[in-house]
Amino acid sequence: PSLIGALARAPAAPPASAASVADVILVGGMDCEGCAVPIRHAIERVGGVERVDVEVATKRVTVRHAPRTDLLA
């Protein structure tokens, strides 16, 4: 699956810390937990990432991170 997708601010849940923000990445082709695990692990290795939630059914990855974290670098 490709990590390239639409990136949108997710205002719903309160931040993990006062300075964090959340982004939602839509991942086309993520059809099973086998796809989700390496995606989660790759994003968790990005500096500034605090939390990663993967929803296979909706093909969404919600990433909580420091405001200046570049998730698509």
pLDDT tens-digit readout, 30-40: 999 999 999 99
pTM for the full model? 0.72
- pLDDT band at 12; cut points 50, 70, 90: very low
What is the residue type of 8?
A
Q: Which amino acid is located at 13 in the chain?
A: A
Q: What does each C-alpha distance from 5 to 14, 18, 64 come to in angstroms?
A: 23, 27, 17
Find, among 68, 7, 72, the residue nearest to 42 by Cα: 72
